[in-house]
Each structure stands twice: as C-alpha cells, then as structure tokens.
Chain A
Amino acid sequence: MIALDQVSFWYHQQPEPVLADVTLSVGEGELVLLAGRTGAGKSTLLGTINGLVPHFTGGHLEGTVSVDGVTTRSRPPREFAHLVGMVGQDPLAGFVTDTVEEELAYGMEQLGLSPQVMRRRVEETLDLLGIAELRRRPLRALSGGQQQRVAIGSVLTMHPKVLVLDEPTSALDPTAAEDVLATLARLVQDLGTTVVMAEHRMERVIPFADRMIYVPGDGSVVDGTPAEVLAHTPIAPPIVMLGRLAGWEPLAMSVRDARRRAEPLRTRLRADVTRTPARNAAAPLLTSSGVVVRYGPTVAVRGVDLDLDGGRVLAMMGRNGSGKSSLLWALQGSGPRQGGIVRVDGADPKELSSAKARTLVGLVPQTASDLLYLETVADECAAADRESDADAGTCRALLDRLAPGIDPRKHPRDLSEGQRLALVLAVQLSAAPRVMLLDEPTRGLDYTAKAALARIVTTLTGEGRAVVVATHDVEFVATVADRVVVMAEGEIVSDGPTVEVLGGSPAFAPQVAKILGPDWLTVADVEAALRQAVR
C-alpha cells in the first residue's frame, strides 16, 4: 500500500539528512507503530506519505514515495486526500469548520461527493466512532478525546486507504487514549484500513501493532515486528524493560502475555516485599484549605484541602477538565480563586505582587513556551536573573544543572521539547521558590527526556523543595511520585501513597503493576528487589 524506495530527505541548509536511503513497504491492513526520540524524524517520515514533505514543508527529497501506486512526486498533497488521511497531534489546530457534523463533511465537500453519499457517510462515521450524540456540538466545547475522535472521523469520511496519525494520544488522559486506540484497532480489524502512527507512549499501542519501525535519528530505520525491534532499542516501554530484566525470549508484548510468563518472577519477588517506609516530613511548605475556583457558573475546583511537604513529589492525576490546572494556578496565586485559604511561609501568594509570589511558589504552565519571548537562550537567562533579583548567571547555572550543554546562542523555539522545559524550569527556579508546580510537563517528551525530567524532579526534592506534577503519564508518576492525588469534577477523589493509589486502580495502574501485582510499580523497583534477593 505504501512504498518508500531509497528515500532521503534534507531540510534546507542542513548538512545532515533527516532520512537517509530509507526503503520500506507497508501492506494493506497493517497497523504500523513508528517510534523514536523527539526530533529523530518521525513526523518527517509520516509527512512523506501524503507529500506534505516536501511539498508543504520545503526541503529536498530523493527517491520515490508511492501510495496505492501513485507517487507523491507528481502530485500535491491535496490530490492524496482520498488516499491518505492525516491526523495531527493537536486536533483543534486542524479543524476548519466549527461543528462536528460540518467538520466530518468538510473533506468530502472538497472531493465533490454527492450530497446523498456525504449524508450517509457522515451518519456511518458518527456511529463508527461513537460520537453521534455530539453531532451538532461546537468543536471547541468537546473534550480532548472527543476532539481527537472527530479529527479521525473527519478524514475517515473520505474513505482513505491509509490513516496516518502523529501522536494521537499524547495529550489525552489514559481513558480517553484507550478510547482512541480502541477505535483505531477497530478500523484495522473491520475496515482493513492501513494505519501508520507515531507514538511516544508506545506501551499502549504495542499490543495492537503488527509492525514497528524504529527511527534511531541517524537517518536510518529499523523495521520488524515489535518484539524484534524492541529487543535492542534504547527506548522501550516498561513491559519490555521487565522482559529484558527477566530474560524472556521472545519478549512479551501484551500485559496478558506477560502475566502468564511472570509466574516465576512473581514467586521470586513475593518473598521480599520489604519497602522503604515513607520518609518523615517536616511541617508542610504549603497549606491550603477549602480552595474554590469557578468560571461563571462552572465550578472548576470545589473546596479542595491540600498540603505540600518539602522533599516530596505529589502527582496530580485525573481526566482533562477535572480541575488540576485551575488548582495549580490558584495555589500559585496568579489564577483566580474565589474562596479558601492558601498559606506559604505564612503569606497568601494571591495577595502578594506577582514578583513576590513567584519567590514562594513557582509554576511551569502547560504550554511552557508562553513564558519565553526573547531571541536567545542567553537573553532569556539574563532576563530571568533580572526579574528575580538573582546574581547574574544564576539561571544559566540552574539550566546547566538541569540540562547541560545547551548552546546559549540558540533560539528557544529551536530547542527540543525537553530542553525548552528545562529552560523554563530554570527561569522559574532562579527566583528560588520552595514549592514548584509543574502542569503537564511530560507532554511530548520521549522516554529519554522523561527520565531526564525524573532526575530533575529528584534533584529538586533532594534540595528540600516540594514538587507537584500534574500529568496523565502513569509510568512517569510511578517513577517519581511519593504521593498521588486523583481529581474528578473539581474534588479530590483519592489521595495516598503512590503504591496504594496507582496499584489498586484499573485505570491508573502502570504496566508493571498489571503484570506483577499492585505492590510493584516500576522496573527499577523490581530490579532493586532482585538485586537484594541475590545478595
């Protein structure tokens, strides 16, 4: 269905090719997972399939890419609309119209299909994706998972033979992500659509994937079944890490598979469930009670009490729109707060000037790049020093500790997602707040960047700071958090040590817990326990 023949690609004025001599072919009805580090060329590879690369992005492409026998060389991307459906990372940015039904019909209108066919296909697609009750809703009022499903639907109505998705679940909460993936699996099973998707959090996709293409970043690709490819890749989901640790051959790809194989491992581990007791904390750094945030008639946070201890990481989870961000902004003092008490160091950050408040509580917002506005990293650091009355070089020193070796002359936009996050974090830390709040820091980070972030978070707590991480990423929470709070409808519905909250929940359990039981959250835990047992 898709054939890449000796494809090489360069962006203008860059000596290194993004893709070098790639030859691939994807058959009909296959679900192919594309993995690799950020910036390794996944999106570029996806873009070549319908010709957006190079027709839209510019650059130089050698070799031929053909879909269903038609090469992208001869025709612009719009002539591929009926063959290739393209769904991006942020569905909202790709919407042309403003209600669900019109969005589903948009592509067909461009193809010039007859009204009866359009009407029928819209109805079928609404049912196929389970969004019939949303048909007349404005797109902006939908939740993230619903938007993503509408985005998929809007290309499905054109009956494409190939569906290309670029990180379709990266912004979604675990349940919404499952919904979207289940939809995709159904398309592959029932309609025989060929699906090519890039995904950072591959643990969820691997069970469905027939094939996996790993992009190491040097222009080449590694192609094979997930089990073959994952045996050697530096980035791998926990289930694979566990398999490698236990020496399973071949690797288990689904939780069901792994559970069956893990019997001996479980018995070995059962002997020593001796966990380090939670550290005793001193007086909390931040106390809050009865926090209320509302926007007009909608209540975002409904009387939440929350204390943050120094040296501990609190993970905040819950579906999109459950009030996590609103709560963080209210705790920082910059966001609205209609009721309740927040005390940091005896003061209410809301009543202080924003310059003073940030020396008490720092916040890295969801779109971290909103904070950056200068042309170079060095300028940003200098501005941060001025803003927080810190000694010159403070911010740069912090940045070097968080992410060493960033070129000071670089434009902040050109940094990788992880580096940019580190820069914003350094900017915020230069004011030396004792409490640091991170809103969705793991968005768009690959496994390596996430491991780096975990190290940063551990450093911060090592210095006695209190850290809050709002995230959907269960595996990340399992790695860093001491305590987990789950929010729903503006209230805290569960609050406790990570093991208790994550291990016992079907929706939030990390893969290792699903395989080995609720006492084990991460591969590192298992590894440490095994090493102890040997000793």
Chain B
Amino acid sequence: MLSTYFLPRDLHPAAWWVWALGLAVAASRTTNPWLLLTILAVASFVVVARRTDAPWALAFRIYLYLGSVIVCFRVFFRFVFGGAEGSTIILRLPEIPLPEWAAGIRLFGDVSAESLLGGLYDGLRLATMVICLGAANALANPKRLLKAMPPALYEVGTAVIVALSVFPQLAESVLRVGRARKLRGGTSGKRFHALHAIIIPVLEDALDRSLRLAASMDARGYGRAGKVAARVRLVTGLLMIVGLIGVCVGVYATLDGSTPRFLAAPVLVAGLVIALIGFRFAGKRVQRTRYRPDRWHLAELVVAASGVAVSVVLFATSSVDPTNLNPSLIDLSWPLLSWVPLCGVLIGLAPASLSPPPEPPFDHEPIRLAEKVPA
C-alpha cells in the first residue's frame, strides 16, 4: 500500500473538489483578511505543487485575476453607492441628488474608512471562495470529473464531452472558411453577405460532422442500455427532482444563519437521501462499464479530509470565539489572528506533500502539439 502511495498518478477529481470546497466553505465563515490571505496562499501553493501542464491547469491565473477584479469592484462600489456608515470619514465627494423614487440609493457623498474596509473584507472573502473553486478546476481534469459522474448522469456527461470537443472544431472551421472566403475576393460585398458566406459553410460543416458522429456512436453501441418502463422513469425523475430541491434548500439554510434551523441539517440530509435513491434507481438500468475508472485510494482520502478539516476547524472556532474571525468594523483596529484558526487553515497544505504527484502528460515522446494555437 505505502510503496505505491507516492507513485505519480492523477488523483480522483472528486478528491480535489472536496478539498477545494472545504477551503471555500472555511473562507465563507470568516472576513479576517489574514485568514483569507492564508487560505489563498494555501490554495495557490497546492496548485503550484500539484498541477499538470494541461490547459485547464494553466487557467488558474485567470481565477486570480478574477479574484482581484472582484475585490476592486467591491471597494469601488463603496465609493459610488455611498459608504458613510461609521465615523471616520476619509473622503468627501459631492453627493449627486437623486429623484424621490430612488430613495434609499445614494450616489457618491461621504466615504468612511469603515465602509471601505467592509467592502475590502467582503470582496476578499468572495474572491477567496472563487479562487478556491479555481484551484479545484486547475487540479482536477474536468473531463475525468464528468466520467466519474454516477451512471445515471452518463448521457449528460457524454453530451457535455461531445459539446466540449465541438468548440475547437467549430473555431477551426470558422477560420478555414474565413480563409477560403478571401480566395473568392473576400471582403467585397455587403456586410450581411460576408456573414452569410461564412455562416452557411460552417453550419453545413458542423451539421455534417454531427451526423457522422451520431452515425459512428450508433454503430459503436451508444445507448444499448435496456428499455425502462415509463412508470419507473417517472418515479426516478420525481425522486431526483425532489431530492435536489431538498439539497438546495438545506445548503442555503446551512450557510445562512438567519433561516430556521429545522430547514438546515434535516432537510439537507433528507434531500441527499432521496436524491441518492433516485440516482440508484436511474443507475440500475445502465449496463455500461467504465474503462480504468478513477479509484478512491488512501491519497484521495487524505486530500479530501484535509479540506474538510479546514472547514470543520473554522466552523468550530466561529461558534466558540467569533470575534477574531469577523473583525469589528465599528472601532478600527488591526485585525487580530489567533492560533487555532490559523493552524486549522494550514492543514489545507497537506496535499502539497501528502498526495502523489500528477502523471507526466505523455508517455515517451516530448509533447508535440500539432494544433497549438498561438497565444
């Protein structure tokens, strides 16, 4: 067991998602900038340590940009739509008077340090959550995640995979037809004509291709699964919908402290159970198997557990000692950091060293990307 633990392999994508969601949930419990920055650092460090060269892994940077944009916007809005809560006014802007019906909205005017800080903390929290999801995206191959879906969702997964592979093809044929268009004298003629001349061949091409793909899938046994009675299908669908609604309500109630408690854990659990029964029913009729499915080994457990641990620690401390997690905005002071939540967040670092490194992208030869798109 231990001898194979650190052999390079791709972890089960769900493990990375659990880990990242754990960090995101932890981030949702605090507005302490030190803690949030620590969570960010933890997520980034693990991503850098364990990502591959795949295109989705390189997209992590985009999430970082997105995060900074979120923070900037939050602060900027405090400028625009008034931020006078609090006593320390640091900027006096002329207020733009608004008509009667827009009462409650304020444009510009005095800006207080408290409200700016509130915007910053809030933005930082949201940005951290977004970046945590970005980390999951960078670490888990999205296609493998689709493959790891329960058999009941197989059709949806296939549709998504096919759609994903259609996009590069579509882009390619737009380029090709555009080039061909130039051969006929290109840009002359009306705007509409030029568009027409590109869209028609591209659509014809796409339609042709999808027909051939459909024929190929049909010939290769897609959808061989046995037939199901209409009644069973109806029951399955009902179970799944009711279950998913329950899960949604439960998750909302759990995260929002002001909703009645009986809507939280009990509804969440009940919803989950009903949805799982539905899945089970739907999956039963599927007689398909999976080639080299991702298995859930010890390393996956370690990764997932580290993420869950982070969120558990922050949940626990928030009920014991909430002040440091949500620094006061009433009297301005440096937010303090206590040891317990900090150590809790640092548990999230475990996957950086305790998970096997990812597999190199290709077996023998160096990467030869024939259709590498110039950046």
Mask for A102-114, Cβ within 8 A of B = 1, else 0? Answer: 1001111111111
Contact A94 B196 (CB under 8 A): no
Which residues from chain A contact B177 at a C-beta distance below 8 Å?
370
Contact B222 A141 (CB under 8 A): no
Quick check: is A248 within 8 A (CB to CB) of the other chain?
Answer: no
Point out the residue from A93, A133, A373 that lies within 8 Å of B213, measured CB to CB.
A93
Contact A84 B219 (CB under 8 A): yes
Contact A427 B224 (CB under 8 A): no
Which residues from chain A contact B189 at a C-beta distance below 8 Å?
386-387
Mask for B162-189, Cβ within 8 A of A = 1, else 0? Answer: 1001001000000011011111111111
Which residues from chain A contact B201 at a C-beta distance below 8 Å?
369-373
Nearest to A361 among chain B residues (CB) is: B183
Quick check: is B368 within 8 A (CB to CB) of the other chain?
Answer: yes
Contact stretch, chosen from A74-82, A264-272, A280-288: A74-82
Nearest to B197 among chain A residues (CB) is: A373
Contact B221 A107 (CB under 8 A): yes
The answer to whether residues A371 and B184 also contact, given A137-B362, A321-B370 and a CB cut-off of 8 A, is yes
Point out the residue from A77, A329, A373 that lies within 8 Å of B179, measured CB to CB.
A329
Nearest to A57 among chain B residues (CB) is: B215
Point out the residue from A78, A141, A154 that lies within 8 Å of B224, measured CB to CB.
A78
How many angstroms between the C-alpha atoms of A154 and B213 in the bound complex? 14
Contact A358 B183 (CB under 8 A): yes
Quick check: is A453 within 8 A (CB to CB) of the other chain?
Answer: no
Contact A136 B215 (CB under 8 A): no
Nearest to B365 among chain A residues (CB) is: A133
From B181, B208, B218, B374, residue with most partner A Cβ within 10 Å:
B218
Contact A354 B182 (CB under 8 A): yes
Contact A52 B215 (CB under 8 A): yes
Point out the residue from A86, A95, A295 that lies within 8 Å of B219, measured CB to CB.
A86
Contact B212 A88 (CB under 8 A): yes
Quick check: is A428 within 8 A (CB to CB) of the other chain?
Answer: yes
Nearest to B173 among chain A residues (CB) is: A370
Contact A154 B220 (CB under 8 A): yes
The answer to whether residues A109 and B371 also contact, given A78-B221, A373-B200 and a CB cut-off of 8 A, is no
Which residues from chain B contact A373 at a C-beta distance below 8 Å?
196-198, 200-201
Quick check: is B161 within 8 A (CB to CB) of the other chain?
Answer: yes
Contact A96 B213 (CB under 8 A): yes
Instruction: Say which size band chain A's interface belongs to.
Output: 35 or more
Contact B370 A140 (CB under 8 A): yes
Quick check: is A404 within 8 A (CB to CB) of the other chain?
Answer: no
Contact B222 A427 (CB under 8 A): no
Which residues from chain A contact B212 at a C-beta distance below 8 Å?
88, 90, 93-94
Which residues from chain A contact B364 at a C-beta distance below 8 Å?
133
| Residues 210-249 (chain B) with a chain A CB within 8 angstroms | 212-224
Which residues from chain B contact A137 at a C-beta distance below 8 Å?
362
| Residues 34-86 (chain B) with a chain A CB within 8 angstroms | none
From B220, B370, B371, residue with most partner A Cβ within 10 Å:
B220
Q: Within the complex, what minimum Cβ distance (angstroms) separates A84 from chain B?
A: 7
The answer to whether residues A155 and B218 also contact, given A140-B168, A355-B186, A355-B188 and a CB cut-off of 8 A, is no
Quick check: is B372 within 8 A (CB to CB) of the other chain?
Answer: yes
Mask for A362-406, Cβ within 8 A of B = 1, else 0? Answer: 110101011111000000000010111000000000000000000
Quick check: is A274 within 8 A (CB to CB) of the other chain?
Answer: no
Quick check: is A332 within 8 A (CB to CB) of the other chain?
Answer: yes
Point out the residue from B188, B221, B368 that lies within 8 Å of A141, measured CB to CB.
B368
Nearest to A154 among chain B residues (CB) is: B220
| Residues 101-134 (chain A) with a chain B CB within 8 angstroms | 101-102, 105-115, 118-119, 122, 133
How many angstroms between the C-alpha atoms of A82 and B220 in the bound complex? 8
Quick check: is A135 within 8 A (CB to CB) of the other chain?
Answer: yes
Nearest to A47 among chain B residues (CB) is: B215
Point out the residue from B168, B197, B291 that lies within 8 Å of A109, measured CB to CB.
B291
How many angstroms between the C-alpha atoms of A369 and B208 in the bound complex? 12
Contact B370 A56 (CB under 8 A): no
How many angstroms between the C-alpha atoms of A384 and B183 in the bound complex? 11
Contact A115 B221 (CB under 8 A): no
Contact A96 B217 (CB under 8 A): yes
Contact A96 B216 (CB under 8 A): yes
Nearest to A114 among chain B residues (CB) is: B289
Q: Within the complex, what minimum Cβ distance (angstroms) separates B153 from chain A?
A: 15
The answer to whether residues A105 and B291 also contact, given A82-B221, A358-B185 and a CB cut-off of 8 A, is yes
The answer to whether residues A77 and B370 also contact, given A93-B212, A335-B179 and a CB cut-off of 8 A, is no
Contact A355 B185 (CB under 8 A): yes
Quick check: is A197 within 8 A (CB to CB) of the other chain?
Answer: no
Which residues from chain A contact B185 at a C-beta distance below 8 Å?
354-355, 358, 387-388, 431
How many angstroms between the C-alpha atoms of A428 and B185 in the bound complex? 10
Which residues from chain B contact A386 at a C-beta distance below 8 Å?
189
How many angstroms between the C-alpha atoms of A50 and B221 in the bound complex? 11
How many angstroms between the C-alpha atoms of A95 and B211 in the bound complex? 12
How many angstroms between the C-alpha atoms of A516 and B364 in the bound complex? 44
Contact B368 A158 (CB under 8 A): no
Q: Within the complex, what minimum Cβ distance (angstroms) separates A137 from chain B?
A: 7
Quick check: is A97 within 8 A (CB to CB) of the other chain?
Answer: yes
How many angstroms between the C-alpha atoms of A335 and B182 in the bound complex? 9
The answer to whether residues A110 and B216 also contact, given A93-B209, A298-B372 and a CB cut-off of 8 A, is no
Point out the residue from A80, A111, A122, A365 that lies within 8 Å of B180, measured CB to CB.
A365
Which residues from chain A contact B370 at a C-beta distance below 8 Å?
140-141, 298, 321
Nearest to A297 among chain B residues (CB) is: B372
Which residues from chain B contact A372 at a C-beta distance below 8 Å?
201
Nearest to A55 among chain B residues (CB) is: B218
Which residues from chain B contact A80 at a C-beta distance below 8 Å?
219
Q: Within the complex, what minimum Cβ distance (angstroms) separates A244 from chain B?
A: 38
Contact A113 B289 (CB under 8 A): yes
Which residues from chain B contact A68 at a C-beta distance below 8 Å?
none
Contact B218 A332 (CB under 8 A): no
Contact B224 A81 (CB under 8 A): yes
Quick check: is B322 within 8 A (CB to CB) of the other chain?
Answer: no
Q: Within the complex, what minimum Cβ distance (angstroms) separates B375 from chain A?
A: 8
Contact B183 A78 (CB under 8 A): no
Contact A118 B289 (CB under 8 A): yes
Contact B183 A354 (CB under 8 A): yes
Which residues from chain A contact B204 at a C-beta distance below 8 Å?
369, 413
Which residues from chain B contact A96 at a C-beta distance below 8 Å?
158, 161-162, 213, 216-217, 220, 222
Mask for B293-325, Cβ within 8 A of A = 1, else 0? Answer: 100000000000000000000000000000000
How many angstroms between the C-alpha atoms of A335 and B178 in the bound complex? 11
Quick check: is A98 within 8 A (CB to CB) of the other chain?
Answer: yes
Nearest to A334 among chain B residues (CB) is: B182
Which residues from chain B contact A431 at a C-beta distance below 8 Å?
185
Which residues from chain A contact B8 at a C-beta distance below 8 Å?
none
Quick check: is B143 within 8 A (CB to CB) of the other chain?
Answer: yes
How many angstroms between the C-alpha atoms of A413 and B161 in the bound complex? 29
Quick check: is A296 within 8 A (CB to CB) of the other chain?
Answer: yes
Which residues from chain B contact A367 at a C-beta distance below 8 Å?
176, 180
Quick check: is B369 within 8 A (CB to CB) of the other chain?
Answer: yes
Which residues from chain A contact B290 at a C-beta distance below 8 Å?
109, 115
Which residues from chain A contact B374 at a C-beta distance below 8 Å?
295-296
Which residues from chain A contact B284 at a C-beta distance below 8 Å?
none
10 contacts between A and B (CB under 8 A): A76-B218, A79-B224, A93-B212, A96-B216, A98-B165, A107-B220, A110-B221, A140-B168, A141-B370, A335-B179
Extra A-B contacts (5), CB below 8 Å, given A112-B288, A296-B374, A335-B179? A334-B182, A355-B186, A355-B188, A369-B204, A373-B201
Smallest CB-CB A-B distances: 6 pairs: A81-B221, A105-B291, A94-B216, A110-B221, A370-B180, A354-B186
Instruction: Using CB atoms and an 8 Å cutoff, list the residues of chain B in contact with chain A.
Output: 143, 158, 161-162, 165, 168, 176-177, 179-189, 196-198, 200-201, 204-205, 208-209, 212-224, 287-293, 361-365, 368-372, 374
